Amino acid sequence: MIKIADKSGFCFGVKRAISLAEKTANLHKKVYTLGPVIHNPQEVERLNDKGIKTLKDPKSVKDGIIILRTHGIPLQLHNELEKKKSIEIIDATCPFVKRAQDIVKELSGKDDAIIIVGEKVHPEVAALVSYGSGKCIVVENIKKAQKLKVKGSLSIVSQTTQTPENFDSIVKCLKKRYKIKVFNTICKATFDRQKSAEKLAKTVDMMIVIGGKNSGNTTRLAQICSTRTKTYHIETADDLKKAWFKSSNSIGLTAGASTPYWIIKQVRGRIEEICSDGKKILKKAKSKEKK
Ligand code: SF4
């Protein structure tokens, strides 16, 4: 039996970015995304086949259309791109990420230090920090929060994909020592996928989590599921191994917010094939035993 988590696969922001990229590529020739538009190598390759190229360095193109990805880009880079007359920008930054950027921008004009709860190396956090006019401090976890030393009061904003648990524990910790203002900018799509995956993982023999190995939210889904049941994180149907299915009767599927439906469908189809092959082999073995 295969069950798919109620909330899995593409979120609103990713659907919007892909749709913007495809519509643009239908009308124009030179279409680029600054870095992979989403963290899914197979979907990026599909878009590449449609003529949407991934740029590492915006200086490498003289003209054309550059699509900004869902995580957003640093403000300075955005401003530099805006100045180039031969380049058109289509901003596919997710509106939820944009909201967090706008909050940081507004806070940058106030006295409070701005605490960003998030992963320092994540592009979304790098972009958020760029809106804070040098006033942002990134706090990744409770240990860092305990060691924090700043003067005055704090405003706290979150990377959209943080877990509510991490955000709440940091807020609680800082509240004991500082006067704080809290801006909860966590996106519900991530939270919903995590809760839905965890709920399903409790009821099945095995979970298959589908999504890019470079996708933070997919990796987190795999971590959550692995605390409940046997879990494998795969990118495509080709990664599935027959041996995994020998002693599993119920299989749960979930996918990160950057995993397209066509990959989920392929994985499901391949699992059905593997399981029906297994049943046929078992049937043959039993009929031999009878003879
Ligand atoms: S996970 Fe949320 S914030 Fe991130 S792109 Fe999707 S909808 Fe936007």
> pLDDT tens-digit profile of 148-203?
999 999 999 999 988 889 999 999 999 999 999 999 999 989 889 999 999 999 99
Coil, helix or strand at residue 132 = coil
Give the span between the Cα atoms of 34 and 80, in whole angstroms: 13
Task: Give ranges for CATH 3.40.50.11270 in the chain.
Answer: 12-93
Give the span between the Cα atoms of 139 and 115, in whole angstroms: 7
> Is 88 designated active site?
no
Helix 123-130 × helix 75-83 angle, to 10°: 80
Q: Which CATH number fits domain 2-6+189-282: 3.40.1010.20, 1.10.150.120, 1.10.645.10, 3.30.450.20?
A: 3.40.1010.20
Cα 193 to ligand 1 centre (Å): 11
**Segments of the chain with pLDDT less than 50:** none
Give the span between the Cα atoms of 157 and 171, in whole angstroms: 10
Cα 189 to ligand 1 centre (Å): 6
The pLDDT tens digits for 60-80 are 888 999 999 899 999 999 999
pLDDT at 28: 87
Ligand 1: residues whose CB is within 6 Å?
11-14, 70, 94, 96-97, 160-161, 187, 189-190, 257
Q: Which of 124, 140, 273, 289 is catalytic?
A: 124
Give the span between the Cα atoms of 110 and 42, in whole angstroms: 43
Coil, helix or strand at residue 29 = coil
> CATH second-level architecture of 12-93?
3-Layer(aba) Sandwich (3.40)
pLDDT at 161: 86
Hey, what CATH class is 97-186 in? alpha beta
